[in-house]
Structure 1
């Protein structure tokens, strides 16, 4: 083939793609604010921000120092106090048996400090006082750091939220997604979902309590911060909470969470899977390749420290693993404690996705965190879940209902009980088959999660906030939102009709009585 024809052969596909492929959105200035202190959340958003930068958008990212990696072409504003907050958390001794109100106080203080440290940071203050700074969009974590919504008001930019832990009633409220039949709590502490009438009443009371917690514990401190740092804002926090143009939620209906979503809620579970994986190191690869009876991978997530686990839990697990013929890979921040066992290999960090993708991995024992759950579904690995808090209980329940998981109660662990469950799951082929079927459903989407997230983000940019996507309830008064006006009219009409019928009936009875008295001249007994 000649040089000219070779060049033509390369140009023709490029020309066709340019004509038929999707048009690249005009590049825009985007402000992204993430006050996370946990690395797992940054695993979700980092590939998303990278993709936006690669599309040509000019990003300014406000984040922690150590957990958020540097992204080429992005202007980073680092907030060192977020890292200090993480260090304080690492020193904290968590009690898994907190009451709902104690838990709310702790969480409220944590998110108050997240917002306060971001807003008070010198680099952030310099940005806020820079009269030339202009942004076409503000992206942030959707819930709990409401004071940060003020950036949207300050820069007069549409607000896009990321719901890293999936959706709950508080996320639904932000976009007017009024579907109480599928509401779920923010925290599962004390929540017992069921189908009986009493259980439904219990659930209603539980979520009503959460609304009170948000209104009287979470919001007041955030409102104070908002007024302090955005004193000239014309909109209240309550107004801003109903102005989200888009919320990307880290879940997907194929994983057993079917919901009636409004258009500006978009499911993007697995968005973090766009980040490329790294090859296994030689030692770990040999261990996985040569495991004659397969491998069990055990990890309670990136941020759960061993000292936060219930007393005796690790010893019980170690005693159980010693009875197995499978090789166990254990992620622990104290690996030296477990490497003496003949079939346990421990490190403080493992490349989780690469391990789950290995054909020798038979079972994933985990805490049912949302990213671990998604990765297990992606790689079709059955799960044994030991949930500890928040969304982990709901994630576990869904995986059990789909037939890909079993669960253990962390308050009632025995080595023999653990061995029995593990052996049952390994011998029962249905768990692996169900995991394959679920993985196939999860992958059967018109676009990848990342492509979906980027397309809808740029849709909001193209349509200047896309107000037409927001349900009309967003602009309604409180009376309208809860249909009080409709209920009042309905029951008002019914009540008036009933009163008229009763009055006419009473008059007819009275008239009939008088007629009888007149006809027979006998007083009727009253």
Structure 2
């Protein structure tokens, strides 16, 4: 008996020792100046703390993400000003082209990085010689200057791509087969079904590469050199050293990608967070919806001032013609609520979508909205407004669980007719249930997947073996097989032969025609 207890004691000590050995000091840096992305990362950070890791988190004010017990927070209060600047930005007037959009986004992320790096608390942390971190976690794209934290602490670099995948994320992960169908911006991009569309998309992606090189990166490089005192070449090297990137998407939601091992899909990991409960008033409003209910939200980050001026009136008139009850999330000052209309500036979205009487979700189609509606099997009326929302809406339509309307051409009759179609045609609800079943059919929850791979990187000291070898080669070496052998190999040779034969046939035909013409022309004497 004593021997058994002794063995059990040794086993417990061994397991505890193993757990202690796997814990680490982690620095998380998030420059978001809006709340929705913190909805994604906060549960992830909480789970890391629960696993015994020591976290230092640099982020926006507490109003965007509350304090996490056991975490050392460094709050960057000045990030809040960026939200106010966004409220004053005239999106419809200024965002007239891809280049204007790129300049706007580049300036925004430049300011995000700058405000983080000039924060006194951050400066003190960087100057603290005793501060050591094994891993740096941050948003993967656009705030490249912040990659300097990983080099400063000689730490593994882990990215979270809260907006899903795109060609720039593929590059950071070293993906050798990036998709030409996933741009950073969807403005002017197409499905690429025809050869002409494919060529346009290829040009579109090429333009975006130039945009990144000459608009996004220069400002980030300048900040990197100023605050970390490293040369620009080292930043380009860090951009090739991501140990892991967690993608806020999942193939079951309609976009299959060719991911390398260090690109891991964790769409829905925020669903591990216990949702906010419904108030007694809202619970009763939905419970008594005998004809069903509709949830309408353009999201808190979709600032109401950017919406078309007639949209509120059109939607109010449409709702007045429905027998379903409507829960509306908006800061608009609406007329007196009727028995069928419940308006507030904030609602517990997940619990509303989970209510059995909610039959339709009207949304701007952000990624979190897609994930939550798919999880709870709620059909969607998509009203996309900017960035990735247009391709998101297109994807959901093809999945058969949504219809889309143009936000700048909303017609009352069309809105009512579309809502009736989504409510009365059973195919949308059935397709939503199918999508929910395949999305939730996973070997581990998205959060368990995210934590497992994060700790995998820690266990294997950065897990360099997860990156493809080609990423460590020079540009010429990397493309010599993939591109030049194709262009100047069999395909190129075949093309040259076809061109030569075609030229020969045409030349012979022309000469023959000219010869016969000369024979047929009468000689004038």
SS, match of residue 342 in structure 2? strand
Aligned equivalent of 2:353, options 351, 356, 365:
356
Maintained 8 Å contact 2:29/2:57: yes
Q: Distance in 2 between matches of 1:392 and 1:152?
A: 32
Q: Distance in 1 between matches of 2:431 and 2:442?
A: 18
Divergent runs of 4+, >6 A? 22-25
Report the counterpart of residue 292 of structure 1 in structure 2. Answer: 290
Q: Distance in 2 between matches of 1:298 and 1:393?
A: 18
Worse overlay, 271-280 or 113-122: 271-280
Maintained 8 Å contact 1:35/1:114: yes
Report the counterpart of residue 185 of structure 1 in structure 2. Answer: 183
Q: CA RMSD in A?
A: 2.4
Maintained 8 Å contact 1:479/1:485: no
Q: Distance in 2 between matches of 1:234 and 1:110?
A: 21
Distance apart, 1:396 and its partner CA: 0.9
Q: Distance in 1 between matches of 2:446 and 2:28?
A: 19
What TM-score results when the alignment is normalised by the length of structure 1? 0.88
Q: Distance in 1 between matches of 2:168 and 2:420?
A: 40
Aligned residues: 483
Q: Distance in 1 between matches of 2:29 and 2:355?
A: 36
What TM-score results when the alignment is normalised by the length of structure 2? 0.88
Report the counterpart of residue 46 of structure 2 in structure 1. Answer: 50
Worse overlay, 391-400 or 345-354: 391-400
Q: Distance in 1 between matches of 2:20 and 2:260?
A: 26
Cα 1:166/1:321, change in 2 over 3 Å: same
Q: Distance in 2 between matches of 1:485 and 1:443?
A: 37
Distance apart, 1:237 and its partner CA: 1.5
Cα 1:338/1:331, change in 2 over 3 Å: farther
SS, match of residue 483 in structure 1? helix
**2:398 counterpart of 1:401:** yes
Report the counterpart of residue 459 of structure 2 in structure 1. Answer: 462
Distance apart, 1:232 and its partner CA: 4.0
Q: Distance in 2 between matches of 1:300 and 1:24?
A: 45
**2:66 counterpart of 1:32:** no
SS, match of residue 410 in structure 2? coil
Maintained 8 Å contact 2:79/2:112: yes
Q: Distance in 1 between matches of 2:485 and 2:280?
A: 71
Cα 1:339/1:345, change in 2 over 3 Å: farther
Segments of structure 1 that go 5 or more residues without pairing to the other structure are 1-11, 503-526
SS, match of residue 38 in structure 1? coil
SS, match of residue 80 in structure 1? coil
Q: How does 1:420-499 map to 2 (within 5 A)?
A: 420-483=417-480, 487=484, 491=488
Cα 1:339/1:364, change in 2 over 3 Å: farther
Maintained 8 Å contact 1:338/1:346: no
SS, match of residue 205 in structure 2? helix
Report the counterpart of residue 268 of structure 1 in structure 2. Answer: 266
Maintained 8 Å contact 2:40/2:269: yes
Worse overlay, 154-163 or 486-495: 486-495
Distance apart, 1:340 and its partner CA: 3.6
Instruction: Tell me the alpha carbon deviations over residues 353-405 of structure 1, each in whole angstroms, 9 at most, x when there is no partner.
Output: 00000000000000000001100001000001000111111111111111111
SS, match of residue 236 in structure 1? helix
Maintained 8 Å contact 2:330/2:346: yes
Q: How does 1:329-348 map to 2 (within 5 A)?
A: 329-334=327-332, 336-348=333-345
Maintained 8 Å contact 1:24/1:55: no
Aligned equivalent of 1:381, options 378, 383, 398:
378
Report the counterpart of residue 69 of structure 1 in structure 2. Answer: 66
